[in-house]
Structure formats: C-alpha cells, structure tokens
Structure 1
Amino acid sequence: MASREPPRPRVLLVEDDPISLGFFQAALEPLALRLDSADSLAAALERSRDVRHDLWLIDAHLPDGSGSELLARLRTLHPGTPAVAHTADAGATARLLADGFLDVLIKPLPALELQQQVRRRLPTRAGSEAMGTIVIQRDWDEDAALAALNGQQHHLNALRELFLSELPGTRDAVDSALRQDDEPTLRNHLHRLQASCGFVGAARLAQAVRELRGDPHSPIARHHFHDAVAALLH
C-alpha cells in the first residue's frame, strides 16, 4: 500500500495589485504550497470562512479596508493563525506589529526573503519534505551578538550572564500578565525582553517573543515562548 503524501501547507495571500500578486505567486511556487489568493478584505474573509490556513500574508492597504482590520476579523474565525503583513510603506512597520502581525515585509523585496519568512512561519508538521529545510532559529546567534559588540567576547559573556539571571523573573512576569489578561503590562515586558534578546543574540527566544506579541492568546505562541526560555535556562 502506497504511503500517503503529507498535506501541503495552505497559505492565504491577500494582495490587490496584479504585479505584486504575480511576484508573490512566482516566488512562492518552489515551496509547493497550496496558495489561495484574494484581492480584497471581503474576498479574504470569504476564502477563510470554511478553510483553516497555516499562514496569512496580508497587504496593509486594501481597496475595501486595511490589512489590520482584516487581521482582526480573521482572528475571530481562526485565532491562532500566524500573520505577516506586506507593504510599500516602511513607516507603517511599528503600527502593523502593534496591530498583531508577527512581522512586516517591505515591498519590493527579494524572493529569497519572502521564502525564508514563509518557511519560518509554517508548522514543521505540514509538508516538511516539500517545503525543504524549515529554518529553525538557534538558541544563540553568536555572530550577530559579537558583531553588535564589536567582537568583545568578554562583554557578551557578562551581558548573557545578567540576561540569564533576570530571565526567570521576566518569564514569571509575562505569565502573570497573561493570566490577568493585562495587555499593556504584557507588551511592556515583551518589548523589553525582545530588545534584550537582540543584545545577547538569543535568536530563538526573540522569535518566540515576536510570535507571542503578535497573538498573546495563541496556545502555540505560549508554548514556543516557554520552550525557548527553558532551552536557555537548561
């Protein structure tokens, strides 16, 4: 009996510009996805009503609304789905992240950057062979951390020691804010933690923090956060 082929990841691409749409479709074709496309807020909602996607790629500006408005409405249908925004307006990045997107792609962008972002966000269970090697962040990004500190290893060691000594308290503060549904306090803790991760090169935890900031109610995001913390404290 032939083995069943694993299901391919399913992605919703929301883009109203035909040229941009053509670029996204061509760039994503090598990843062997099931790609659904929509050119408006209304069409995206219709596409998602009876379908659960593994990832949403959403244009920030749509003819009948904003990408942030669409994300909020999609979250009522499928709360845990990761979402990435794309826009030609680099100045909109902070607002889009605050609105719940995990990351923001600035158009135009290289096909490789788009492919890497999609691989990073898709679950490894779905179509991993067809997708190729999924990018999994290392616990520590030594090269990036040393580059930020001009190669001063002793400074990096000292910063990491301080970071690890404070991490259990930060984790507990995040958990407390989650239990109390205290979003302002949660975002403050996560913002400070993400900055600290950047200084010491805690790459996997930084990614988990971004995910949790994007969707604090997601059980998957919470699980990734606790796994990343535990890996550093082990």
Structure 2
Amino acid sequence: MSELKTILIVDDDPTVHHLLAAVLAPHDWRIESAFDGLEALQRVETFPYDLVLTDVHLPGLDGLELLARIRQLRPETKVMVMTADSTPDHIIRSTREQAFSYFSKPFSPSAVAEMIARAFSTPAWQDDIEVLSARPEWFTLRVRCRPETADRLVQFLREMKMDLPEQEREDMAAAFRELLMNAIEHGGGSDPNKRVRVAYVRTSRAILYYIQDPGKGFSFQNIPHAAVSNPPEAPFEHVAVRAELGLRPGGFGILLAGKLVDELIYNEKGNEVLLIKYLNHETK
C-alpha cells in the first residue's frame, strides 16, 4: 500500500478550508489546516508535507515568502499558490520560485483537485519549468519535454490573462496546449533531457505565444497523420494513417489551434510557431 499523501492548506478564510476539504475528501489524502503564514512555516519545519496549498495574502508571513522558505527548507515539498488578488508579478514570482501551480480565486475546486493529483503523480519536477526572462508583458521560459509538464505551464500562462473573457482565455489555452504538446511529443520526442522554449508576449492589441522545439521540424506536405493535411473530401483520412503508424488517437492539434487563434505562423523549418490572438478585432 502506498504511503498516505499529506496536504497543508494555508488560508486565513475558513470558508476556503471547508470548500477544499469537501472537494478533496473523496481522495485518500490527509488534509491539515493553517490560518497564517508563520503557523504554516512552523508546521512545515516539523513535518514533511507532500504538498502545501497556500493563499498569497496571509497574516504573519505572506504566501509568496512562505513559498520561497518552503523551497529552501523542504525542496521535495510541492507548493501550489492561490489568491483572490492575482497579478502578473505574483505569477512570475511563483514560477521563479518553482511553485507547482497557481490558481486565481474563485477557482474551480475540481481543477485544483486534478492539479494536486498531477503533483502526486509527478515525482521529478524541480526544474521542469525554467524562467529565462520575465516581465508582465514578455515572459520567456524553457520547459523540459515531459508531457505532464504541459498542463502546469498552460495553467501558469492562463492566469496571465485573467482580465479577458473566460471563453477567450480558454480558447487561447487550448490552442497553446495543443501546439506545446506537439513540440514536446514530436519535436522533443518526450525526452526530458530536451527542452522547448516558450514565450508569452502581450501588447495593447494582441497576445502572442511563441514555441520553439528541439526537433528537425516538419513540412505540411509530409504530415499525413495530422488532420490539417486531410483533403476536403476525406476529413478524417489521417485517423487511418495514425492507426497504421501506431500513433495515439488525435492529430487535430494544428487544425484546432488554427481555429482558436487569429493567426498561426510557422517558420520555414517547422520547429518554431507563433500564435496570435488580437484583443481588438477592429484593428486587425
């Protein structure tokens, strides 16, 4: 039998504790609570929690400082950050300090539970996401080619756009995830020793994602396993090709991403892609 996983929830609002305890109850995890940052730090000093879920604004010691202290004290403990007052600077600092994930309140309790489950199934993770350069308008990272890292990065970058309509945020997140997975799986061969370079850029009129993978690239004429190559009279032809090649079901990534953003531009080699979403469609 595997050892019982332990979670410390840190928030000065009892309602948050009750909400999270209820949604996490079906899982075989031990849940403990702390209501200020200093209490949480003392608990972490005396017990090696598997995961700490902390608010940012706390009495005694704020959550981002708590994150930094935990990373120094117990680097094996994963930390997830939550806040009702999210800013790009909070997200950048959380990523720099190697938080496992980040959620703005109000959040989906089930999404938090899913990310916690992912944390417990991801043993090696310390430098999966490396910050190369960070400003609120231009955020550059390097990511190990591990499929399980994709959803973590998508969540961090989804939070950078909390002022946008929810559907627009989700469309952009879905498009970015599809092409990030392509970069990790095809460009990097899911080899954790290889890395994908990612940039998020926000201007007054557009949001841009840039992805560069370590692979040899591709030509649109040579990817019959992708839906984007299907002829109009056979929109699912790639499904049979994927089955013959022993590939997992799918192949809709490029086609789907192209429908969710305004522009999708590849370099000549095919190992770099730019996704563009205009914020003011009248100025396109």
Report TM bin, short chain. Answer: 0.5 to 0.7
Task: Flag as ranges the 4+ runs of structure 1 deviating above 3 A.
Answer: 136-141, 159-165, 189-192
Q: Aligned partner of 1:66: which letter?
A: D
Distance 1:117 1:140, change over 3 A: closer
Show the 5 A alignment for 1:53-132.
53-91=49-87, 92-123=90-121
- The residue identity in structure 1 corresponding to 2:25 is E
* Percent identical: 28
For residue 113 of structure 1, report the CA deviation from its aligned partner.
0.7
TM-score, normalised to structure 1's length?
Answer: 0.54
Q: Is the 8 A contact 2:122 2:148 kept in 1?
A: no
Show structure 1 runs of 5+ residues with no match.
126-135, 175-188, 201-234
- The question of whether the paired residues in 2 share the 8 Å contact of 1:55 and 1:81 is answered with yes
Count of matched residue positions in the alignment of Structure 1 and Structure 2: 160
Q: Does the 8 Å contact 1:85/1:103 carry over to 2? A: yes
Aligned partner of 1:105: which letter? F
1:17 shift after superposition = 0.7
CA gap of 1:68–1:75, structure 2 versus 1, over 3 A, is: same
Name the structure where helix makes up a greater proportion of residues: 1
Taking CA–CA contacts closer than 8 Å with sequence separation of 6 or more, which of the two structures ends up with the larger relative contact order?
Answer: 1
Is 2:47 the counterpart of 1:51?
yes
User: Equivalent residue of 2:82, what SS?
Assistant: strand
**Greater share of residues in strand:** 2
> Unaligned regions of 5+ residues in structure 2, if any?
124-145, 152-170, 200-208, 218-284
Q: Quick one: which of 19, 40, 47 aligns to 2:15?
A: 19
Structure showing greater radius of gyration is 2
1:111 deviation in Å?
2.0
Secondary structure of the corresponding residue to residue 42 of structure 2 = helix
CA distance 1:60–1:164, change in 2 (3 Å):
same
What's the C-alpha RMSD, in Å, of the aligned pairs?
4.4
Q: AA paired with 1:44?
A: A
TM-superposed deviation, 1:69: 0.8
Q: CA deviation at 1:102?
A: 2.2
